Amino acid sequence: MDIYDLFFYLSLGAGFLMAFNLGANDVANSMASAVGARAITVRQAVFIASILNFVGAVFMGSHVTATVSKGIINASAISDPKLMMIGMFAALLAAATWMLIATLTSLPVSSTHSIVGAIMGFGLVVGGPDVVNWLKIGGIVLSWIISPFFAATIAFCVFSHIRKYILYKKQFIRQAKRWAPIWAAFTVSLIALSFLYKTPAGKSLELHWLTALTLAAALSMVTWFLGRLAVGRMVMDEEEGAEGVELVFRRMQVGTSCYVALAQGANDVANAIGPVAVIYLIAKEHALFAQAEIPTSMLVLGGFGIAFGISILGHKVMATVGQKITTLTNTRGFAVDFGAASTVLVASNLGLPVSTTHAAVGGVVGVGLARGFKAVDFRVLLRIVAYWVATVPIAALTSIIFFVLLKWLCYS
């Protein structure tokens, strides 16, 4: 076994560890609001998210990484493929380590920012500051503001609308029967567009934007019609009270959470398995490539890692996002999911950097603020923001330490 084979086998373990942490931390956000609003139990959330993320990762995950370095460093400036292989392994290990620390302290961080910071770290050592795409790093810093602010604003507006036109009305069951199908129709159009524009499976269809809009509008109309029938049967008694309203939004919230879990599996598996595919190609060909095809067996490894991570440690981050920032009900949880999903879809299509993790937390803060500042625990929020800001520099520093040690071992 030569050094290339050794690093490939080691990278399989590091990739699995990264996928584990991705499931435990990043992906757990998808079910946090549903658990916090008691739409489902933690055990049900773990079961549903494990299956949907595995399905998303294996059957809808990207088979091609965007670039070997995610656009953070200029890979062509690194002429030695062995250095690139060691660097990608160090980056994978550093990102996984930081995410594990964040998960054990129950705080949500972005897997994308972790791996980006780690790649930047070894890039700085190998090629100096000129090899780093600082514009991309600036975009990530910008996302610390854009993602939570957008999601908080949308969630605030959605929940304020539900409160004004349903919960604060005298005949709120009748109002729920009127507005819930409309919100369900909006949600389905959002999910349809998000699937077509955000998931690798949807993008592969290459639909014209007009076709995509028509399809989303048609699904919305069908949903609105079926929603009217379903809500009418779900809440028969107009004297049932606020629980009747929450029951309607509980069903909708479970649906949105399931979609987010599926989409996250499809989109985020590349954060864990992409670097493994790069190392596999370098080990096989002893050369650098602009893109790396991800074999299905590696997606299966990533899918198992994500599912395993949710099962073992997913409850920690779910509890923080779903219960410790503010108190969630089903109507509030629905507003959170709608705000986060809208932010990721709209902002990313406008070319703005967004993070699903930051959007989910922003949405929770938005519905909390709709009830006043006292409804939000700012001590928990500040700890979360501190981890967001620390993610890139800590992942970079850890990656540099791992890279220097591995390079010394391999070249001495």
Residue 32 has which token pair? 């946090």
Confidence band for 271, pLDDT divided at 50, 70 and 90: confident
Type of residue numbered 254: V
pLDDT exceeding 70 applies to what percent of the chain? 92
Residue 64 reports pLDDT greater than 60: no
Output the average pLDDT for the chain: 84
Q: How sure is the predictor about 401, in pLDDT bands with cuts at 50, 70 and 90?
A: very high
Nearest in space to 331 (alpha carbons), one of 127, 34, 19: 34
Grade residue 60 by pLDDT with cuts at 50, 70 and 90. low
**Helix, strand, or coil here: 64?**
strand
Whole-number pLDDT of residue 104: 94
Q: Where are the alpha helices (DSSP H) in 199-295?
A: 200-205, 209-234, 242-285
pLDDT score at 240 = 65
Segment 128-143 mean pLDDT: 83
All residues at 6 or more sequence positions from 164 whose CB lies less than 8 Å from its CB, including other chains: none
pLDDT at 247: 80
pLDDT of residue 63: 54
pLDDT value at 68 more than 70: no
pLDDT at position 396, please?
A: 94
Q: What is the pTM of this model?
A: 0.85
Dihedral sign from CA coordinates of 173, 178, 179, 182: positive
Amino acid of residue 45: A
> Contact, 336 vs 9, CB < 8 A?
no
What does the alpha-carbon distance between residue 300 and residue 296 come to, in Å, rounded to a whole number?
6
List b or e across 231-268, with b for residues whose CB sees 16 or more CB atoms inside 10 angstroms: beebbeeeeeeeebbbbbbbbbbbbbbbbbbbbbbbbb
Beta strands in 29-173 (DSSP E): none
* 225 φψ region: left (φ > 0), alpha (ψ -120 to 50), beta (else): alpha
Q: Cα–Cα distance between 395 and 83 in angstroms, integer?
A: 18
The pLDDT tens digits of the residues spanning 309-352 come to: 988 998 888 888 888 999 888 888 889 888 888 887 777 667 66
- To the nearest whole percent, how much of the chain has pLDDT over 90? 24
pLDDT-based confidence at residue 69 (cuts at 50, 70, 90)? low
C-alpha 252/C-alpha 223 separation (Å) is 11
DSSP state of 132: B
List, in sequence order, every residue forming a beta bridge with 64; answer none if it has no partner: 293
Across 269-292, average pLDDT: 79
pLDDT at residue 381 in the model: 93
Query: Does 262 or 68 have the greater pLDDT score?
Result: 262
On the question of pLDDT at 261 being above 80, the answer is: no
